[in-house]
Structure 1
Amino acid sequence: MIHNYIIPSLTAFLLIAGASATSNAIANDNGVQAADFVKIFEKLGGEHPGYRKAHAKGLCVSGTFLPAPNKHFQGSALLSNGELPVSMRFSVGGSSPTSDEKAPGTRGMGMQIQLPNGSLHTFTGNNFPVFAGKDPETFYGFLSTLLPDENGKSDSAKTIAFIQQHPSVQANVMWNQTAKTPVSFANTEFFGIHTFYFEQSNGQKTKFRWNIKPSLGVKTMEKAEAANKPTEFLADTFAQQLKNETVGFTIMASLGEVEDSDIDPSQQWPSERPQVALGTVTVKTSGGDACKNTNFDPNIMSAGFMPSADPVLKIRSQAYAISFGKRLSGQ
């Protein structure tokens, strides 16, 4: 039960990070490496040559970004060049290209905005607000408890024990236990979960985390309603919504305080933190393969923006690059 429920959600962040190595059978002196995550997801979800190692099933869309300049991001090229083109990819959690769209759990989003000078700004997130582990070692340790033995069976007692011993995994596990099936990608909120900084033109730094709110509102389905859906419905639902109404998203930035962690994606910031809009995305088209070979590395940002020292965020670039290379070479 735990294996079936958690894995699609965590595979969502396949290339992101790992779990706490308080488990002696998992840790090593050199720490967890990016390649370790690629390997463990292939063990857990099977090998699917030519596909992303996480979020293998996806939908490409394109549109425009209209910025909302504000005092917290003064001098940002991202917010001062008017309307910009956007490429996006929505996805279902899991390493299989045939992941069940009716299943509850993780949905992902990658977005690249292209600036006039050719530079890119990337937003990559999921519909869960907290990560399953404070660092790569914790996440890897957690995933390792899900690996089947020589008889093809996983030990749920081992997984439960790990969760109990590692508090930073617990919030994500609780989210998985209550997650429902999204009605559409267009009705899903996405969270960046990591902390970023922006250095303003006056030298001050803005500490923030972002989330993306759908203009059509967040909508989910109960299990019985989802069971009546066809095996694949997300692409058709999105296309129909585009025909009938405006599909859009607002990118929001939560402004952090000194005491808010900038290195632990398993910790949510207090809900009372002020928010400002960075801009709105309006989707124009869906379908096709325009985003197939795009690497939505969240560390690719426009001038003035910079990543925090979050170790999970750091390892993502390496893991994304490995997965990208394997995908392009048909592995």
Structure 2
Amino acid sequence: MNKFVKIALVSLLPLVSSQTVVAQEKTAVDMINLFEKLAGKQPGFRKAHARGVCASGEFMPNKSLSNYSTSELFKTDKVPATIRFSLGGGNPMADERAPGARGMAIQLKLPSGAMHNIVGNSTPVFAAKDPDTFFGFLETLIPGEDGKVDMRKVGQYVATHPSTQPAAAWQRTAKTPYSYANTEFFGLHTFFMNDSNGNETKFRWHTTPDLGVKVIEKEALATLENGFLEKHLTEQFANETISYTISISLGRKEDTNIDPSQAWPADRPTEVMGKLTLTSVGGKACDSINFDPNVISAGFKSSDDPVLRMRSPAYAVSFGKRLSGQ
């Protein structure tokens, strides 16, 4: 798979117009149809991040963040978590040896029964600044009658749409992760925490593996079997503790709220949000979960990032098709 196709299939996030409910549904369906053109119809699978492995865990929140948010998340010692690790793209048989993005989706179950989702990728930026730009980029990846992608057309699109260039630059140097236990993940979107006085603090989250980041050099890829990511994760779980530190960067007024293709400056202050520790690997617990990142607890708020806001309708379309075997 060429490098531009891998960029496009990093996360295949749903993007739709927010003008009316009807427009959202139509655009969401169009996007899912486009995903299926790129990855082929895969009945019963997620239309994005189709290949993955489920895990269970416990999340221990940093209670001091109750100064920033009234969420019940920061008023408890620990909460159960369901985690899904995945490859970008809609092919459930995607080659894990290919370098590129991996995904991590977390659902926390709070004491009240409310759910709080945290969803991100190993890419530090999203592939485009808004739905229209991303949709246009994906359209350039549809193969022609000869079955091949016109890479000159793709390159011209990237050259004339600057917001696609940071992700393209990341992809050029991306390496294959050794394991999901050794991969860092980024929240590409801006969220807000709300305190009891009505103050808002904007943030983006970042997950660091406590076992350290580890990649596989190109020369060693040929010795791996397709499916090694789940194998490595399972073997590591049997022999050591797999955990992640979830941190948040606190944004300044000038940091974008709405453009996920732009990373915030690295010098922003950070706080630890909590520690996530795996308690099992495998199973079917993720099958019935829709990891919509806009499902968050009271005390948090989504930003007006158009990519983030428009995920929900297309996630719903994909979820419905998956459960109905389409």
Task: Output the TM-score relative to the length of structure 2.
Answer: 0.94
Any conservation in 1 of the 2:70–2:298 contact (CA below 8 Å)? no
Which of 13, 20, 32 aligns to 1:15? It is 13
Equivalent residue number for residue 170 of structure 1 = 165
Equivalent residue number for residue 285 of structure 2 = 290
Report the Cα offset of residue 282 of structure 1.
0.5
- Equivalent AA in structure 2 for residue 195 of structure 1: T
Report the Cα offset of residue 80 of structure 1.
1.0
**C-alpha root-mean-square deviation of aligned residues, in Å?**
1.7
Between the aligned partners of 2:263 and 2:15, the Cα distance in structure 1 is 17
Between the aligned partners of 1:192 and 1:242, the Cα distance in structure 2 is 24
| Structure-2 change in CA distance of 1:46 and 1:74 (3 Å) | closer
Equivalent residue number for residue 278 of structure 1 = 273
- Equivalent AA in structure 1 for residue 187 of structure 2: G
Unaligned runs of at least 5 residues, structure 1: 19-28
Between the aligned partners of 1:69 and 1:81, the Cα distance in structure 2 is 7
Any conservation in 2 of the 1:31–1:137 contact (CA below 8 Å)? no
Between the aligned partners of 2:283 and 2:24, the Cα distance in structure 1 is 42
Any conservation in 1 of the 2:63–2:75 contact (CA below 8 Å)? yes
Which of 51, 55, 63 aligns to 1:57? It is 51
- Equivalent AA in structure 2 for residue 145 of structure 1: T
The count of residues paired between Structure 1 and Structure 2 equals: 319
Report the Cα offset of residue 12 of structure 1.
3.3
What per-residue deviation string (whole Å, max 9, x for no partner) do you get for residues 87-119 of structure 1?
A: 000001221111101110011011000001100
Between the aligned partners of 2:104 and 2:254, the Cα distance in structure 1 is 28
Equivalent residue number for residue 42 of structure 1 = 36
Task: Output the TM-score relative to the length of structure 1.
Answer: 0.93
Equivalent residue number for residue 255 of structure 1 = 250
Question: SS at the partner of 1:160?
Answer: helix
- Equivalent AA in structure 2 for residue 6 of structure 1: F
Question: SS at the partner of 2:316?
Answer: helix
- Equivalent AA in structure 2 for residue 179 of structure 1: A
What per-residue deviation string (whole Å, max 9, x for no partner) do you get for residues 166-218 of structure 1?
A: 10000001111110000000000011110000111122111100111111111
Answer yes or no: is 1:223 the counterpart of 2:218: yes
1:49-198 pair list within 5 angstroms: 49-71=43-65, 72-198=67-193
Report the Cα offset of residue 33 of structure 1.
1.9
Between the aligned partners of 2:51 and 2:142, the Cα distance in structure 1 is 22
Any conservation in 1 of the 2:69–2:300 contact (CA below 8 Å)? no
Answer yes or no: is 1:305 the counterpart of 2:300: yes
Identity rate of aligned residues, in percent? 50
- Equivalent AA in structure 1 for residue 293 of structure 2: P
Report the Cα offset of residue 32 of structure 1.
8.7
Any conservation in 2 of the 1:32–1:136 contact (CA below 8 Å)? no
Report the Cα offset of residue 31 of structure 1.
12
Any conservation in 1 of the 2:63–2:76 contact (CA below 8 Å)? no
- Equivalent AA in structure 1 for residue 85 of structure 2: F
- Equivalent AA in structure 1 for residue 140 of structure 2: T
- Equivalent AA in structure 1 for residue 261 of structure 2: S
Between the aligned partners of 1:82 and 1:69, the Cα distance in structure 2 is 8
Report the Cα offset of residue 77 of structure 1.
0.9
| Structure-2 change in CA distance of 1:31 and 1:323 (3 Å) | closer
Between the aligned partners of 2:320 and 2:110, the Cα distance in structure 1 is 25
Question: SS at the partner of 2:231?
Answer: helix
Any conservation in 2 of the 1:48–1:95 contact (CA below 8 Å)? yes
- Equivalent AA in structure 1 for residue 36 of structure 2: E
Between the aligned partners of 1:7 and 1:73, the Cα distance in structure 2 is 40
Question: SS at the partner of 2:149?
Answer: coil
Report the Cα offset of residue 149 of structure 1.
1.6
Report the Cα offset of residue 78 of structure 1.
0.9
